[in-house]
């Protein structure tokens, strides 16, 4: 082994060993030349599972999916050039969805930067403000100081990625040829590693009093839980709500609608009853407590906007500013559990919460009455009621997440719902779901045709690694959500710019990626296809033909019916 | 029309009118909500041709292709969020390939930024240092001052995009709801526009003397022309070389190997004879003059590296630093034409250039002798000799561009060769070729299976707009280039990390996107498929099955044969 190879090997092995010793155990690699030593060392590592994913955009979302499911950082590796730029959408999603990613990009050494060398771009600060930390690593050198530096950088970046809010970190590695490390010998000496302990925020000793006053003076509070709750936060908030007698309006992505934490007092039909019309003065809250990110529901957002003079506490684990309505009054940066433990006090009366529960139940009864016809909504409801215990459902943006918000009713099973709600893109959805599927016994992806098209490349890794995923493509041949927006009235240009029919037959994609495929047009076909998928390994694509116009009409009919019935009931 | 709608309409119409009045006439739009007014106004504009492309990554490369072919800026429009991040690979390619792009991203207004609002990310400086200018536009307002500001920003950005080096410019538009403009009335009043005149660099009066001395003291100069020559630069350099008696080593992407500028003195087999062995001392130049970016050929790069003490003039039209070998001595920022006009002087003797021409011819004769067997090289040679006059050939990175470098011999036809050689990515290649096809009577894409896979989504726009493109997919089931690199010896991990076989049948992709498809395994099949493609409109995919190992052997055999024969000849 020559000196160059020794330096290269020791330096990168130390870096990787440090990550591995701190529990990082999965890496997603895209093929390339400059990244060769990183790719070889990771693949050679006995305790790191590696995936190879050719399309870097898909690769990054795939890693994001694994990291979301594991709640642990995942390594990404690619070569120099635009390869690294293909990570950008997933890096941004990771930032806003608070998912830890360790992005390792190979780069040309300094003498080949910005001189017109092939496949060399300016990779410093490539992801701008969208990573929590970006470091241009030193060139591989020998000596203990440099190895210590490599280990420090690794553990430091890792620590930052899991500090609240979690997020992506970028390591840029300039590397000189030749690029082959020496894989003989004992490269990974677990045990010598540094450790980082990420403490969590709690309220300081002098911070409780004012908040206590706000909370204790009010009996008509509502709790809103959005995406991104921590697992122990879920139990703490459920207990807190029950004790205080405050209803919990739980977004499907809060993962409070399903689970063993107890779902009494969980309000899950608010999107419909808030949309259906103003709720009476007697249900106006005098306090709002929000956990997590903003909920998906637009009616809820508008309801909050209308509550101008009501104190609104926004509790986030890190320094996120989660206040799109601008109605926040008290911003608390502390773990949900610490907040709840501090302020839980048994309420004396249950009238307030009972009102919410009654309206919620009535709404759901009415929805059952009117949902009859087969369509997107019905399909989503079917899916959510049919899938086995412990399933993960990954939901695409645009229409699917709204349908799930409407039709996923609380239960004591353990169904978890996930989506890319950091930046709400329709990109990378297939790959994120596949990433999650690696960590779950049963994973479903609910997705529209545009989002499915956008990341069809993601399917390759599904076939390659025999991943189990059932994809339900709601094919309404275009952008369904626009039919709900004012654009729908722009007759002349609507189909061209917003409807955007693609006229694709996804059976071809299924054939290319070796997926089981079925096309369904009725409820019984759909149930049959779901049953078959449950018993089958690998990729399964169920294409549900849907009609954009009819879907809008079905939704409108439901809102109108609920509105009429509830308002009728209120008057009587 | 209410006041908000009036402001929105007038402001954006003025911006677009300004671009149109300055000759911008194509736009590529990806569907989205926040970008609605931009999309509607562009589509409504009578003199702007619009394309709708769902996948923003493909959309941006498609626009890049149009802009490359037209040598004019093209507009890109997308909505807020990760949509804009999907443009990043093409934006970076545009920067390094010097292609003007006008990137228009819609954004949330200020009150919805960084507050957890849906589909809102920090879009300021989204593309970092990779755009020539980034501006966060003002919110739409009324009044002449604001309209003048919108027009100034438009023409200023446009001007920057076509200043040397050409490149991308980013306009970020914060927009408030409602987002529908009023399309009645006369919105585009061409004639009131501002104008920008981008002057070109010439040598200052006092800059000639020293350069003249360097040039006149030397008779054994060689000229190297890389990618990115200007059309009038090609003629000027061809004339300059002929007059000086300097051979011109022309990269295929210089577009000097084919055309009416005269190809005597054009050396096109240097990649082979430089690779085949050291050329004799009697062919050592005493002067190197480089135009354009660095050539593709690695043997040429190594040859230049060996010429430590030879003056090397690097002429670029803008302030690009094109010196990956670090051997440059004189950097001239001036248009090729001005440089050549200034220093052209008739040479007295032709010995020097004749030596180069003889070696070049002999090499090509030897290559003809040994190329016999069917394989990737032979297919590329077939293609280049068969395609009709005026064809554009878009060549993917990795192996295809190297094969074209080897086998595209100079001729007086008008075949133009293009590639994404800014950052040399394998991303977006299909879309770039489709973009170019919109401007050319006959376009071919030569591409490997990995790159084809990477941008299969790009094909959708081909079908939608009935674009004519013949795609030759060299399917060697993986990353062929790695077989030439030291990684090939890493037995255990090679196939997994570098070979990366995908086992895809592209006939499924052809079926999905309505392309004519043929699978060829012999030369006669290939010629037959090319003939059929020539007579057929639309997308045509010719899949050439290739063998990675055999391809390496064929290349090695050729280099060895040429080396042996030339060295034998030298000794005799």
CATH number at residue A286: 3.40.50.1220
Whether A465 is covered by a domain: the verdict is yes
- Chain B residue with Cα closest to A512: B508
Whether B110 is covered by a domain: the verdict is yes
Q: Of B323, B341, B361, which closes a domain?
A: B361
A541 alpha carbon, distance to own chain's centre: 21
**Greatest Cα pair distance in chain B:** 89
Per-residue model confidence as pLDDT tens digits over A138-183: 999 999 999 999 999 999 999 999 999 999 999 999 999 999 999 9
Q: Is B18 on the interface with A (CB under 8 A)?
A: no
Strand order in the sheet with B539-545: B416-418, B392-395, B443-448, B469-475, B539-545, B516-520
Q: Which of A248-262, A277-291, B175-189, B480-494 has the lowest mean pLDDT?
A: B480-494
Q: pLDDT value at position B278? A: 63
Per-residue model confidence as pLDDT tens digits over A215-244: 999 999 999 999 999 999 999 999 999 999
Q: How many CB pairs below 8 A link A and B?
A: 237
Whether A195 is covered by a domain: the verdict is no
Per-residue model confidence as pLDDT tens digits over A84-124: 999 999 999 999 999 999 999 999 999 999 999 999 999 99
Helix (H) or strand (E) run with residue B14 in it: helix B3-21
Q: In this structure, are A376 and A336 located in the same domain?
A: no
Q: Is the dihedral of CA B545, B548, B550, B554 positive or negative?
A: positive
Q: In this structure, are B428 and B329 located in the same domain?
A: no
Q: In this structure, are A343 and A228 located in the same domain?
A: yes
Q: In this structure, are A356 and A377 located in the same domain?
A: no
Q: In this structure, are B380 and B501 located in the same domain?
A: yes
- Chain A residue with Cα closest to B450: A54
Q: Is A31 on the interface with B (CB under 8 A)?
A: yes
Question: Domain of B151?
Answer: 3-174
- Would the CB atoms of B512 and A504 count as touching at under 8 Å? yes
Classify burial at A331, counting beta carbons within 10 Å of its beta carbon; exposed 0-12, middle 13-18, buried 19 or more.
middle
**How confident is the prediction for chain A on average, in pLDDT?**
94
Q: Which residues of B touch A83 (CB under 8 A)?
A: 425, 427
Q: What span, in angstroms and rounded, lies between the C-alpha atoms of B550 and B373? A: 10
What value, to the nearest 5°, has the Cα angle with vertex A23 and ends A20 and A24?
A: 60
Q: In this structure, are A268 and A158 located in the same domain?
A: no
Choose among B398, B464, B467: nearest CA to B435.
B467
Q: Could you give the C-alpha distances from A134 to A38, A173, B261, B443, in angstroms and in order?
A: 18, 11, 49, 42
Q: Could you give the C-alpha distances from B197 to A554, B48, B168, B254, B316, in angstroms and in order?
A: 57, 22, 18, 26, 20
Mutate to test the interface with A, among B31, B122, B176, B399 (most CBs of A within 10 A): B31
B394 three-state secondary structure: strand
Q: In this structure, are B355 and B418 located in the same domain?
A: no
Whether A311 is covered by a domain: the verdict is yes
- B97: domain CATH number? 3.40.50.970
Q: In this structure, are A218 and A166 located in the same domain?
A: no
Mean pLDDT of B112-119: 92
Q: Which residues of A touch B504 (CB under 8 A)?
A: 460, 512
- Would the CB atoms of A425 and B119 count as touching at under 8 Å? yes
% of residues, chain B, pLDDT over 70: 98
Q: Which residues of B touch A482 (CB under 8 A)?
A: 31, 33
Choose among B17, B329, B279, B341: nearest CA to B154.
B17
Q: In this structure, are B357 and B375 located in the same domain?
A: no
Continuous H helices in A278-350: 298-306, 336-343
Strands B101-107 and B133-136: unpaired
DSSP label at residue B496: I
Mean pLDDT of A485-495: 80
* B134 to chain A, closest Cα gap in Å: 14
Continuous H helices in B133-257: 144-161, 208-216, 231-244
- Would the CB atoms of A509 and B511 count as touching at under 8 Å? no
Number of domains in chain B: 3
DSSP label at residue A497: I
A227 alpha carbon, distance to own chain's centre: 8
Closest by Cβ to B114, choosing from A117, A294, A321: A321
A461 three-state secondary structure: helix
Mean pLDDT of B262-279: 90
Whether B185 is covered by a domain: the verdict is no
Continuous H helices in B313-375: 336-343, 351-370
Between positions 241 and 300 of A, the ones with CB within 8 A of B are 293-294, 296
The DSSP string of B286-325 is SEEEEESS--S-HHHHHHHHH-TTS-EEEEESSS----TT
Q: What span, in angstroms and rounded, lies between the C-alpha atoms of A300 and A307? A: 11
Q: What span, in angstroms and rounded, lies between the C-alpha atoms of A125 and A170? A: 8
- Would the CB atoms of B493 and A40 count as touching at under 8 Å? yes
Q: Is B302 on the interface with A (CB under 8 A)?
A: no
Q: In this structure, are B387 and B314 located in the same domain?
A: no
Q: pLDDT value at position A572? A: 35
- Chain A residue with Cα closest to B85: A89
Whether B81 is covered by a domain: the verdict is yes
- Chain A residue with Cα closest to B493: A40
Per-residue model confidence as pLDDT tens digits over B476-487: 888 777 888 888
Q: What span, in angstroms and rounded, lies between the C-alpha atoms of A503 and B242? A: 55
Q: Is A320 on the interface with B (CB under 8 A)?
A: yes
Whether A567 is covered by a domain: the verdict is no
Q: Of B341, B361, B381, which closes a domain?
A: B361
Whether B252 is covered by a domain: the verdict is yes
List residues bridging with A101 in a β-sheet. A74, A168
% of residues, chain A, pLDDT over 70: 98
Q: What span, in angstroms and rounded, lies between the C-alpha atoms of B420 and B394? A: 9
* A86 to chain B, closest Cα gap in Å: 6
- Would the CB atoms of B33 and A453 count as touching at under 8 Å? no
Q: What span, in angstroms and rounded, lies between the C-alpha atoms of A378 and A130? A: 38
Q: What span, in angstroms and rounded, lies between the C-alpha atoms of B389 and B416? A: 10
Q: In this structure, are B512 and B448 located in the same domain?
A: yes
Q: Which residues of A touch B424 (CB under 8 A)?
A: 81, 118-119
Between positions 474 and 503 of A, the ones with CB within 8 A of B are 479, 481-482, 485-487, 489-490, 493, 496-498, 500, 502
What value, to the nearest 5°, has the Cα angle with vertex B288 and ends B286 and B294?
A: 150
- Would the CB atoms of B424 and A118 count as touching at under 8 Å? yes
Q: Could you give the C-alpha distances from B482 to A36, B485, B497, in angstroms and in order?
A: 11, 5, 10
Q: What span, in angstroms and rounded, lies between the C-alpha atoms of A319 and A329? A: 15
Q: Could you give the C-alpha distances from B450 to A31, B234, B384, B427, B542, in angstroms and in order?
A: 10, 33, 22, 9, 15
Q: pLDDT value at position A470? A: 98
- Would the CB atoms of B424 and A293 count as touching at under 8 Å? no
B391 three-state secondary structure: coil
Q: Of B174, B196, B219, which closes a domain?
A: B174
Per-residue model confidence as pLDDT tens digits over A381-435: 999 999 999 999 999 998 899 999 999 999 999 999 999 999 999 999 999 999 9
Choose among B234, B486, B513: nearest CA to A179.
B486
Q: Could you give the C-alpha distances from B347 to A75, B240, B311, B350, B353, in angstroms and in order?
A: 60, 10, 19, 8, 11
- Chain A residue with Cα closest to B58: A454
Q: In this structure, are A302 and A390 located in the same domain?
A: no
């Amino acid at each position: 082994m020559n000196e160059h190879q020794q330096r290269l090997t020791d330096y990168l092995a130390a870096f990787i060993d440090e990550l591995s010793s701190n529990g990082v155990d999965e890496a997603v690699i895209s093929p390339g030349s400059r990244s060769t030593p990183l790719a070889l060392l990771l693949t050679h590592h006995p305790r790191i599972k590696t995936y190879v994913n050719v399309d870097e955009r898909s690769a990054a979302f795939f890693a994001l999916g694994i990291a979301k499911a594991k709640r642990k950082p995942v390594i990404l590796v690619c070569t120099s050039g635009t390869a690294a730029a293909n990570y950008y959408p997933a890096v941004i999603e990771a930032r806003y969805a608070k998912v830890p990613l360790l992005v390792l990009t190979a780069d040309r050494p300094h003498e080949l930067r910005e001189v017109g060398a092939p496949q060399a771009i300016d990779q410093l600060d490539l992801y701008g403000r969208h990573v929590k930390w970006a470091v241009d690593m030193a060139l591989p050198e020998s000596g203990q100081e440099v190895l210590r530096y490599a280990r420090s950088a690794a553990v430091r970046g890792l620590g930052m990625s899991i500090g609240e809010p979690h997020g992506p970190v970028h390591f840029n590695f300039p590397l000189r040829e030749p690029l082959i490390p020496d894989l003989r010998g004992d490269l990974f000496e677990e045990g010598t590693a540094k450790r980082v302990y990420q403490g969590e925020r709690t309220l300081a000793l002098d911070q409780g009093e004012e908040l206590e006053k706000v909370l204790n003076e009010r009996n008509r509070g509502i709790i809103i839980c959005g995406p991104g709750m921590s697992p122990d936060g879920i139990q703490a908030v459920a207990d807190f709500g029950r004790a205080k007698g405050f209803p919990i309006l739980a977004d499907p992505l809060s993962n409070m609608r399903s689970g063993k934490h107890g779902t009494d007092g969980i309000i899950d039909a608010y999107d419909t009853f808030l949309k259906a019309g103003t709720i009476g003065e007697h249900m106006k809250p005098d306090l709002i407590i929000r956990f997590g990110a903003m909920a998906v529901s637009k009616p809820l957002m508008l309801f909050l906007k209308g509550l101008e003079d009501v104190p609104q506490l926004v509790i986030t684990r890190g320094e996120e500013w989660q206040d799109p309505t601008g109605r926040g009054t008290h911003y608390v940066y502390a773990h949900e559990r610490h907040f709840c433990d501090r302020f839980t006090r048994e309420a004396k009366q249950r009238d307030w919460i009972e009102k919410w529960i009654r309206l919620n139940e009535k709404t759901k009864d009415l929805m059952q009455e009117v949902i009859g016809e087969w369509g997107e909504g019905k399909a989503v409801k079917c899916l959510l009621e049919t899938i086995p215990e412990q399933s993960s459902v990954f939901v695409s943006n645009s229409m699917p997440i709204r349908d799930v918000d409407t039709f996923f009713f609380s239960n004591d099973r353990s169904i978890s719902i996930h989506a890319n709600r950091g930046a709400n893109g329709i990109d990378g959805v297939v790959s994120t779901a596949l990433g999650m599927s690696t960590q779950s016994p049963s994973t479903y992806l609910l997705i529209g045709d545009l989002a499915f098209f956008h990341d069809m490349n993601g399917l390759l890794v599904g076939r390659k690694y025999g991943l189990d995923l059932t994809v339900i493509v709601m094919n309404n041949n275009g952008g369904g959500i626009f039919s709900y927006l004012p654009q729908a009235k722009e007759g002349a240009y609507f189909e061209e710019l917003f409807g955007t029919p693609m006229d694709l037959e996804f059976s071809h994609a299924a054939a290319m990626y070796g997926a089981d495929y079925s096309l369904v047009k009725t409820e019984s076909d759909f149930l049959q296809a779901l049953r078959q998928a449950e018993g089958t390994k690998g990729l399964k694509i169920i294409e549900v033909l849907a009609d954009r116009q009819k879907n809008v009409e079905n939704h409108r009919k439901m809102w109108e019916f609920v509105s009429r019935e509830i308002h009728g009931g209120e008057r009587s």
